[in-house]
Amino acid sequence: MRGPFDRASDGRNPMRRVVEGIGFIAALVTVGGVLHSGNKALAQYWAPALRGTSLAYVTAWSVELTLLALGTFLVLSYRVSRFTSDARRMGVWIEARETTLDIKSATESLNTMTLRYGIRNTEIHHLRIWTGSGPADAKRYPPQVSVRDLPPNHAWQYDVYDETTRRYYDVRFSPPLRAARRPLFIEVAIREPTSGQYYMFQDEIPRRKRNEFLDAGCDYFKQRILLSTRVALLRVIFPLGFVPTGISYFQARVAETETPIPSEQRRLRKAVSVSRNDQDRRVLSATIKRPLLGATYVLLWRPPERPSGGKPGPDAANSSFDNAQGGTPS
């Protein structure tokens, strides 16, 4: 059964995977030949009376297939991802992380996060949770925080710390959470109302070298991965009738720098999707399996041009926003 430490895809060249697969099969055939010879010699030594009988062949093949299956399992188990290594060493990981920015209007938005933590072979006194980053002039209001699936007789409390463009939460547990060989799973949910500043039209975006995204005419929402994570979902819900022009973008960056990670963007080139929710609002989302520890993942979009008369434009059905892709805005 697949657990929190199963192997992740590394996004390498498909042809390289084919070559590795052929080499792996060749190695199995070679090992199988050695096992067959050794098993045959062993059977003749220990049971010469069975030589040439059906029982001897059945026994030999059963032993060989069992040893091959065991060897294959050990080889595949050894080829673990960095996620596996980091999670085992740290003793805490995130099974699932869902971060949603709900832009209700130019002045009102809601940032929600749901994180399911796994804990094993360690003791956790507190968890530090960073929210998704947005504009520096966004104003945050008192949040709603909840913790589920705590063991009996455990209490929790939290403190909030604000930085320039993001906020983090320090969730403390009393007594500390302890888990031995059997993992413990808890869920932390945060609802964070904010106001501004997400732009509804191109002429509202200040081109004053604030950052490369705004200078390119894009608004953005990003999340940095600071703990080993199985799967992360990054989502932006736009106001009803809001239709970004151009193409939506998804990028993976090294930490908080402007340096892209080309291999990660190639691996996740199909991770971005555009859909509509039950309120007919457009949703831009990226599902990231095994995100890189320390990487920052960014969703970008271009607000439309302001129509004549200053009123919001129609929800055009032929908007090219429906062609989501990875890359760099131009």
CATH of the domain at 126: 2.60.40
The whole-angstrom separation of Cα 169 and Cα 145 is 9
* pLDDT tier for residue 4 given thresholds of 50, 70 and 90: very low
> Is 3 part of any domain?
no
Of 55, 79, 103, the position where a domain reaches its end is: 79
Same domain, 100 and 67: no
* pLDDT tier for residue 182 given thresholds of 50, 70 and 90: confident
* pLDDT tier for residue 95 given thresholds of 50, 70 and 90: very high
Same domain, 54 and 112: no
Of 37, 55, 79, the position where a domain reaches its end is: 79
- For residue 150, count CB atoms less than 10 angstroms from its CB and return exposed for 0-12, middle for 13-18, buried for 19 or more: middle
The whole-angstrom separation of Cα 66 and Cα 233 is 40
Same domain, 44 and 114: no
Supply the range of the domain harboring residue 92. Answer: 84-326
Same domain, 112 and 67: no
Strand pairing partners for 158?
Answer: 171
* pLDDT tier for residue 27 given thresholds of 50, 70 and 90: low
More confident residue, 22 or 194: 194
Mean pLDDT of the chain: 75
Same domain, 56 and 155: no
More confident residue, 274 or 68: 274
> Is 202 part of any domain?
yes
> Is 26 part of any domain?
yes
Q: Tell me the pTM.
A: 0.69
Cβ partners under 8 Å of residue 163, min gap 6: none
Of 25, 57, 79, the position where a domain reaches its end is: 79
> Is 8 part of any domain?
no
Summarize the confidence of residues 160-181 as an average pLDDT: 86
Same domain, 59 and 90: no
The whole-angstrom separation of Cα 190 and Cα 52 is 70
Integer CA distances (angstroms), 244 to 41, 204, 285, in order = 73, 14, 14
Strand pairing partners for 174?
Answer: 155
Instruction: Report yes or no: 319 and 238 within 8 Å, Cβ to Cβ.
Output: no
Same domain, 117 and 247: yes
* pLDDT tier for residue 7 given thresholds of 50, 70 and 90: very low
Separation of CA 239 from chain center: 25
Same domain, 64 and 96: no
Strands 184-195 and 272-276: unpaired
Same domain, 110 and 36: no
Same domain, 126 and 55: no
**How many domains are there within the chain?**
2
Same domain, 92 and 138: yes
The whole-angstrom separation of Cα 167 and Cα 129 is 9
Same domain, 215 and 230: yes
Return the ∠ at Cα 175 (arms to 170 and 180), rounded to 5°: 100
- Judged against a pLDDT cut of 90, whether residue 116 lies above it is answered with yes
> Is 6 part of any domain?
no
